[in-house]
Amino acid sequence: MNLLYHKYKYYPYERELALREVTALIGDKLVTEIEDGFVVPADTDISRLVYFSKAASGSSTTETIQARLERAAKTGTNRQATRYSVHGLHEYKGKFNPQVAKAILNIFGITPGANVLDPFCGSGTSLVECTQIGAVGTGIDINPLAVFIANAKLRALATPASVLHGVFDKIERRLWDATPFSDKTSPERDDYLASWFLPEQLSKIERVRGLIELEGGDCRAVLLTIASNLLRDYSMQDPGDLRIRRRTSPMPDEDFRTAFMRACRAFSEKLAEAQKVVGVIPSSSAALLGSSVSGLEVGRTAQFDAAITSPPYAMALPYIDTQRLSLVWLGLLPASRILGLESELVGSRELRGNARKTLVAAMHDNTASIPVEQHALCTSLQEKLTASDGFRRKAVPILLYRYFCDMLHAFRNIQTMMKRNAPFALIVGHNHTNLGGARQDIDTPHHLSSIALMAGWRLEEQLPLQTYRRYGYHSSNAVGAETLIILRNS
């Protein structure tokens, strides 16, 4: 039986992952490579494979679930679809590639009922992939919006598209009338939103929110997430800028309410197509608000069979600041807490209060006892600073030190939640900065591997990945190279 690739162009690492998921399924001795795939035994169950479209034997063919899901996304067969199923519910900077996440689950041999941890789950890509293969995914993230989006995706998987469609109809019938709502919101929230939305726009946006709260029921989070995804386009903030800058571009011609209903219909149609493939999937998967650095009790210790994540990188772009309108509108975070939470993110560029002075002293003495090589890197970057380096560049050495400290704590905390010999996959981006007029490359995968070893993990492998195109705000700023790190809990 011939196991055939998809029609789209593959990166070399995707071919490598394809081989690994096949051999994990049936063993390398039974696999023979051909030009457009592999020859495998005729009785092989190919349904879960990611990087293959179908198996052909004589005149009969059998499609993989992945091929059917990607076709349901209607992006064409010559291009890899990354927004199939519920993955495109809300933009989220630096999303995990879902194909990579699912392939890793296959390579790890994750079976239905297995417990998988994502300690930096973001908007829940890995949790969705776990759920769609019958595993239980548990995600942790410090960003309230990330947790909200992730749980909304899981709710959508568990909700028949026809039910969503019925709720949309209820909302649409009342969307254009002028009946006022008795809405309880805080003055701080209302004042903040009034400073970033024109009164006419804000009135329409709040009308949508009020109707969702009234009619949404169990679909409330899904509907609010769809509306949240439109906020920046209708605000006075430049929708294409990560920082707080007033827009100079015109507002959209389409009414917010019309755009919302159109987005709802598009999502329910895509969900309906996906549910024809995988069905409606109730699940125990969930995203939890918390920090993998400071520690979070997730049930009993040593409960997870595997972990998979794409952790933040050092001096990361401002996740919280970028998403502040949604955070405030959804009532997830007061405006006064935005910068404070930003500074708490792993890899943040923000320094609050006397953090700079404290970190300089901590780095000098290496109070966290990070490995010698990583401490030496931080101090060498400090020595490269010149008077021409601005405020942010002068903070790079101590920010990098803080990042390494945070990741050391995270590796130690995560280890307590893993079963013995459980695998842990990390997709880690490389990084660079400019200090003293010269480019300084930071091999983050190497440094995190060293830190993981100190924390007691066993390094199994590092696999370079050519970058895939990240979508979302400022995709041009995405990390340009990545590495798959495989660890084992020793």
- Report which residue type is found at 408: L
SS3 for 434?
Answer: strand
Confidence of residue 457 (pLDDT cuts 50, 70, 90): very high
Residue (of 110, 155, 156, 158) closest to 136 by Cα position: 110
SS3 for 190?
Answer: helix
What is the per-residue pLDDT for 301?
57
What is the per-residue pLDDT for 474?
41
Whole-angstrom distance, CA of residue 26 vs CA of residue 222:
39
A 10 A CB-CB count for 91 gives 18
A 10 A CB-CB count for 255 gives 15
- 241-247 mean pLDDT: 78
- 3-state per-residue secondary structure call for 39-103: ECCCCCCCCCCCCEEEEEECCEEEECHHHHHHHHCCCCCCCCCCCCCCCCCCCCCCCCCHHHHHH
Who has greater pLDDT, 302 or 396? 396
User: Does the structure show a pLDDT above 90 at 333?
Assistant: yes
- 38-64 mean pLDDT: 93
Q: Render pLDDT for 5-22 as a digit per residue (tens, 0 to 9).
A: 999 999 999 999 999 999
Confidence of residue 182 (pLDDT cuts 50, 70, 90): low
Confidence of residue 314 (pLDDT cuts 50, 70, 90): confident
Q: Around 208, how many Cα atoms within 13 Å sit in the side-chain half-sphere?
A: 27
Beta strands in 170-301 (DSSP E): 286-289
Whole-angstrom distance, CA of residue 181 vs CA of residue 203:
11
Q: Render pLDDT for 185-196 as a digit per residue (tens, 0 to 9).
A: 899 999 999 999
The percent of residues above 70 in pLDDT, for the chain, comes to 94
Who has greater pLDDT, 339 or 226? 226
Strands 60-63 and 423-429: unpaired
Who has greater pLDDT, 354 or 267? 267
Confidence of residue 177 (pLDDT cuts 50, 70, 90): confident
SS3 for 469?
Answer: coil
Predicted TM-score of the model (pTM) = 0.94
User: Does the structure show a pLDDT above 60 at 468?
Assistant: no
What is the per-residue pLDDT for 480?
57
What is the per-residue pLDDT for 475?
45
Whole-angstrom distance, CA of residue 42 vs CA of residue 36:
17
Q: Render pLDDT for 140-152 as a digit per residue (tens, 0 to 9).
A: 999 999 999 999 9
What is the per-residue pLDDT for 351?
87
Whole-angstrom distance, CA of residue 3 vs CA of residue 50:
12
Residue (of 91, 166, 140) closest to 345 by Cα position: 140
What is the per-residue pLDDT for 476?
44
Confidence of residue 313 (pLDDT cuts 50, 70, 90): confident
For the chain, the average pLDDT equals 91
Confidence of residue 297 (pLDDT cuts 50, 70, 90): low
